[in-house]
Amino acid sequence: MSPEARSSALQRLDAYWARGRAFLGTRYAIMGGAMSWVSERNLVAAISNAGGFGVVACGSLAPDQLAAEIDGVYERCDKPFGVNIIVMHPELDALVATCVERRVGHVVLAGGIPPKRTVETLKQAGTRVVAFAPTLPLARRLAKQGIDALIVEGMEAGGHIGPVSTNVLAQEVLPHFDQVPIFVGGGIGRGDAVALYLAMGAAGCQLGTRFVCATESIAHPRFKQAMIRANARDARLSVQIDPDFPVIPVRAVANKATERFEAFQRETIARYRQGELELGAARLAIEHFWAGALRRAAIEGDVESGSLMAGQSVGMVTSEQSTSEIISELVDQAVNALAFSAERGAAGVADGN
């Protein structure tokens, strides 16, 4: 690629994600997906220091534990970052208060429609609020509610997911919605795809699995090796045992934990039907299964009975790299894709003449 072609492609890239960069306050509009136990202070700071936007995964952390993670990020970087909070967390208000007290600039609310009071509390504190929009009508509803930016995440993602692919969601939402910045996520592992979604109107992209094997990631070496060995087909969805007992599907690399989860569902549903557990407690028990299983694999290295949560982009994770190398690679791929697109367009015009 000539220096002129690269310079032109860089300018296009900057123009495409200018809105996302301005919203995040970063060099690149690349958000780190919030992965429980993995998206902690070290990886989050590394992503932000490399020009992206790191996001702390609160998961099942208590307020004091979240406070420690936030403080840990501040100790490691002075760049913008965010915190992902699950709205079904029993201590939601306290977690939000923790973010406000520590002046976290952006909070991502996940796991359901954000409560009105939560959004108002954050916005009154000057915090930018981000939420997930699995449909176009919900995107419009969230924008009216005051959400500052949205994430459109498809079923190719790892962990808890929705039923529609990233490609379809992007086509449904991006051409018809521009009230707030939209970040696209789910199955993205290369900069070519980032460039594609930016060209469609996205403000930026969210990537999680691509950062699991970063050198700054505290994921256990055996967990990282399992990711490196896996291919896209290995990242499978969990099976719902009982249609009357809905469970949000989880995508993870198949292992013994996948089989164990099916058995655990049967046991928990049986206890619910026998009156031993209330509906809410039964669903929470199933959610806790994944939290504990993920920690066993990601932190303790039990890759046989622990959960290997990963998106289908896991097949593009082929080695351990530094976070800065990963982000530089993504940017170079995006630039190359845009330059190639421009060359093809120029060639087409020449042929037409």
Q: Is 199 within the bounds of a domain?
A: yes
| 73 phi/psi in degrees, rounded to 5 | -65, -45
| Residue tagged 């039990």 (tokens) | 302
Q: Which domain holds residue 124?
A: 3-218+318-341
Residues 24 and 140 in one domain: yes
Distant-in-sequence contacts of 114-120, Cβ < 8 A, 24+ apart = 114/87, 114/142, 114/145, 114/147, 115/87, 116/145, 118/87, 118/92, 118/93, 119/145, 119/146, 119/147, 120/146
Work out the average pLDDT over 99-117.
Answer: 96
pLDDT-derived band at 235 (thresholds 50, 70, 90) equals very high
Give domain status of residue 281, yes or no: yes
Whether residue 84 is found in the same domain as residue 34 = yes
Which of 8-17, 162-171, 277-286 shows the lowest per-residue confidence on average (mean pLDDT)? 277-286
pTM of the model: 0.93
Q: Domain check: are 25 and 105 in the same one?
A: yes
Count CB-CB contacts under 10 A for residue 222: 16
Q: How far apart are CA 303 and CA 320, in angstroms?
A: 17
Radius of gyration of the chain (CA): 20
Residue 221, burial from CB neighbour count under 10 angstroms (0-12, 13-18, 19+)? exposed
- Encode pLDDT of 198-216 as tens digits: 999 999 999 999 999 999 9
Predicted local confidence at residue 258, as pLDDT = 80
- 33 and 146 housed in the same domain: yes
- Residue 267 inside a domain? The answer is yes
Is pLDDT at 142 greater than 50 in this prediction? yes
Does residue 268 lie within any of the structural domains? Answer: yes
* Span 242-249, average pLDDT: 76
Residues 63 and 210 in one domain: yes
Q: What is the average pLDDT value for the chain, to the nearest integer?
A: 93
Q: How far is 153 from 174, CA to CA, in rounded Å?
A: 12
Does residue 206 belong to any structural domain of this protein? Answer: yes
Judge whether 283 lies within some domain. yes
Across residues 112-136, what is the average pLDDT?
96
291 shares a domain with 207: no
Per-residue confidence (pLDDT) for residue 351, from 0 to 100? 59
What pLDDT does residue 349 have? 47
- 187 and 297 housed in the same domain: no
Q: Is residue 352 part of a domain?
A: no
On whether residue 349 sits in a domain, the answer given is no
Distance CA 222, CA 308 (A): 11
Instruction: Please give the tally of structural domains in the chain.
Output: 2
Same domain, 151 and 235: no
Work out the average pLDDT over 98-123.
97
Structure confidence by residue, pLDDT tens digits, 26-85? 999 999 999 999 999 999 999 999 999 999 999 989 999 999 999 999 999 999 999 999
Return the structure tokens found at 131: 């939420």
